[in-house]
């Protein structure tokens, strides 16, 4: 199979989506039944709390919304159009490096609290995680890949469902969108399993995956956004060719 820049980019996006699913599983189970990647859920949680019917930590939900917005704003200056390959500009990797830093800080606090943070330390974890997810979401948005956000699946699901009737998407596009949905589901499942069975190590999961994505982007596109060249099998010369002197 030919390795193209688009295929590599799509695999990196699936990896980021897997990480986001794990992040939300961890935050839901350990940080007051809130999300730090999926902001639609937090808006619903705040609304339920206002109505007196909520079970989530409304302070953490509101804090997550605020820090997600802060992450988007913080990353905006890094993601302005510039030099580099359009599929993966250098600014995207710089933004993901900030995500890795925030997730590493999250891991440090998580380990100090043995994965069972108090309300105060939980608020700090919400700040770090939502900030990281805001940065990541804006970085992915800047790539301009239709119906792919890595921290929410609604647009992806709509695109796939519409294609069932219209049938106007190419096979690579369908594969990309399906991979995003599967990645989010798998990440949430993996995150939940780690929290339940190895809680102290749960914060390693999104950090390791995001770091691997960042390393993969560097290997494929380089620090200056150079394009990955497709791997094309060499054609052997016909038999007897070149034997003449």
For 216-234, write each residue's pLDDT tens digit: 999 998 855 444 444 444 4
C-alpha atoms less than 13 angstroms from C-alpha of 6 in its C-beta half-sphere: 8
Q: What is the pLDDT of residues 101-132, one digit of tens each?
A: 999 999 999 999 999 999 999 999 999 999 99
User: Which positions of the chain have pLDDT values less than 70?
Assistant: 1-2, 81-85, 223-245
Q: What's the distance, Cα to Cα, between the start and end of the chain in Å?
A: 37
Q: Reduced to 3 DSSP states, what percent helix, strand and coil does the chain have, rounded to the nearest 5?
A: 70, 0, 30
What's the whole-model pTM score?
0.88
């Amino acid at each position: 199979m030919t390795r193209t820049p688009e295929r590599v980019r799509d695999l990196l996006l699936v990896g980021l989506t897997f990480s986001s699913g794990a992040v939300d599983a961890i935050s839901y189970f350990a940080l007051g039944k809130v999300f730090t990647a999926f902001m639609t859920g937090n808006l619903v949680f705040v609304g339920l709390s206002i109505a007196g019917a909520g079970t989530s930590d409304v302070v953490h939900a509101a804090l997550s919304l605020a820090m997600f917005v802060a992450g988007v704003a913080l990353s905006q200056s890094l993601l302005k159009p510039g030099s580099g390959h359009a599929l993966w500009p250098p600014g995207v990797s710089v933004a993901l490096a900030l995500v890795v830093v925030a997730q590493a800080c999250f891991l440090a606090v998580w380990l100090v609290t043995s994965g069972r943070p108090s309300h105060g330390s939980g608020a700090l974890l919400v700040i770090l995680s939502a900030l990281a997810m805001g940065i990541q979401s804006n970085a992915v948005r800047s790539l301009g890949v239709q119906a792919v956000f890595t921290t929410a699946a609604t647009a992806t699901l709509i695109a796939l469902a519409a294609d069932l009737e219209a049938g106007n998407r190419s096979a690579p596009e369908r594969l990309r969108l399906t991979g995003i949905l599967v990645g989010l589901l798998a990440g949430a499942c993996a995150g939940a399993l780690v929290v339940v069975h190895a809680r102290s190590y749960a914060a390693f999961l999104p950090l390791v995956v995001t770091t691997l994505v960042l390393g993969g982007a560097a290997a494929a596109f380089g620090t200056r956004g150079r394009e990955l060249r497709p791997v094309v099998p060499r054609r052997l010369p016909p038999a007897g060719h070149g034997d003449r002197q």
